[in-house]
Amino acid sequence: MSDATATIYRAWMCVVCGFIYNEADGLPEEGIAPGTRWEDVPDTWTCPDCGVTKDDFEMVTIE
């Protein structure tokens, strides 16, 4: 797969507890399918570990 066709997924970290939402993995146990973009996660969704909203998440680089 070339870089031009590779799908780039991002990860978002809760600044309160450190929970990571990875777009590639989604959260199937919460009804969020793998590949779901952060923008498509409902605004009503809350961190499964500490309960804060999406406003308390920041994009991070995972290596």
Q: Is 25 annotated as a binding residue?
A: no
CB 12 within 8 Å of CB 45: no
Q: Is 38 annotated as a binding residue?
A: no
Q: Is 29 annotated as a binding residue?
A: no
Q: Is 47 annotated as a binding residue?
A: yes
Report d(CA 22, CA 16) in Å as an integer.
Answer: 17
CB 14 within 8 Å of CB 47: yes
**Which residues sit in the known binding site for Fe cation?**
14, 17, 47, 50
**Which residues sit in the known binding site?**
14, 17, 47, 50
